[in-house]
Amino acid sequence: MGLNRFCSPIRAALGLMVVALATSFSPSADANTAASANKAKAKPAAAAKSKARPKARPPAARKAAPRSRARAPVRRAPSVGQITGLHETADPLDLKSSVALVIDKQTDEVLFSKNPEAVLPIASITKLMTALVVVDAGLSLDEPLEVSQEDVRGTVGSRMRSALRPGTRLSRGELMHLSLMSSENRAAHALGRTYPGGLGAFVRAMNRKAAELGMSDTRYVEPTGLSADNRSSAVDLARLVRAASEHPVIRDLSTSLGAVIPVGPKPRPVEFRNTNGLVHNPEWGIGLQKTGFISAAGRCVVMQAELAGRQLILVLLDSAGRYSRIGDAERLRKWVSEQSLLPVFGRRAAPLPEPVAPQPPLPTGQAPLVGAIPSLPAVAPWTPAPKLSVPMPAIDPAKPWVQVPALPLPIAERATQGPTTN
């Protein structure tokens, strides 16, 4: 009994302490409850905000996402060779070009021909005649010229972006360099525009030079090749390559690999490259070249190159694919290299020496002759042969090589000019 009476006050004190402790912790619990409630209220607002403005995807996700609209393929107008059926002409090498011609420059031998007289648009091969007219006129290649708005308007049909903005000042030689190497249309137009007498006089000089070279199937209407009315045949272009290859400046500028030239009203360096990738190939000894392309002409290329130890002139016109003219040129190079005995047309063979008559043997028992033989007659002194009274006929400049009879092949008719590019 005494013990219970002693413990009861202690129990009461402990109970009061427990109640006090519970009361002291109750405010923090209420605070936590309030914070939880506030957080729960904030979640709907954040969710609404996220729905209103979605998160941006990372760059990798944007690139990987499929395009909603596919780009339509580019459809080009058919070339004149396709319209007239020249691409249906078969040949032993299965060339993709509708016109091909390979001629030995020194012997005038026709090694390969396919539709050589078909008259077709020649695109930027025109620029070879542009350069030839400038060089023949004796114009200073150091004279500074300025690209103008007239050059921009004159080349509006080109889809190739030009780095020569109006106000660009370059020398005539630099413009000719860009015209031959990179097929710059504004450069070629500026060369014709600044010719004495203007662009009309320049075009007349182009056609006059073509007539002098015997290019009877050739006509020019402007100096760039953007017009499908600039037309010629492979036979005529071989004459043009032969004449242009006589000028070292045209050979050097057309085969240049590349150049960095400051252009623009505020000059800045721009890199220009050769449009013919074969100039980088060590298996080709290219001495002169020019490429060309518009829709009406297809892919074209003319070259003067050393193949298998021979100086050859090669012409390829109206090739259908982007790289087919290069493939056709490689096929012709391999074919020429593999020929051990190439066909000879019109070559004058040197006369064979007369056979030496066998000498009779010495009689038996006769000693061989030794020392001087004074009894032999003296050798008559050499006298040159008399000159011919009639001079040899001169070579007709209109036909600088022997013409080989060809099979009757279709001749391209004139076609309406479609959309052009270069």
- 3-class secondary structure, 266: coil
Residue tagged active-site, from 124, 179, 182, 233? 124
Q: What homologous superfamily does CATH list for 80-338?
A: DD-peptidase/beta-lactamase superfamily (3.40.710.10)
Q: Is 127 a catalytic site residue? A: yes
Q: Is 209 a catalytic site residue? A: no
- Element spanning 277, H or E: none
- Round to the nearest angstrom and report the end-to-end CA distance of the chain: 122
Residue tagged active-site, from 127, 179, 182, 232? 127
Q: Which residue has the higher pLDDT, 114 or 385?
A: 114
Q: Are 311 and 288 in contact (CB under 8 A)?
A: no
CA distances (Å), 81 to each of 126, 373, 411, in order?
Answer: 18, 78, 9
Q: Is residue 360 very low, low, confident or very high in pLDDT (cuts 50, 70, 90)?
A: low
pLDDT reading at 322 higher than 50: yes
Question: What are the tens digits of pLDDT across the range 128-173?
Answer: 999 999 999 999 999 999 999 999 999 987 777 889 999 999 999 9
Q: Is 124 a catalytic site residue? A: yes
Residue tagged active-site, from 158, 183, 233, 295? 183
Q: What is the pLDDT of residue 369?
A: 41
Q: Which residues contact 390 (CB under 8 A, 6 or more apart)?
A: none
Domain edges within the chain: 80-338
Q: Which residue has the higher pLDDT, 47 or 184?
A: 184
Name the DSSP class of 219.
Answer: B
Instruction: Please state which of the ranges 92-106, 169-183, 228-242, 386-400 shows the lowest mean pLDDT.
Output: 386-400
Q: Are 109 and 345 in contact (CB under 8 A)?
A: yes
Token pair listed for 316: 């390829």
Q: What is the DSSP string of 55-114?
A: PPPPHHHHHHSPPSSPPPPP-PPPPHHHHTTGGG---TT--SEEEEEEEETTT--EEEEE
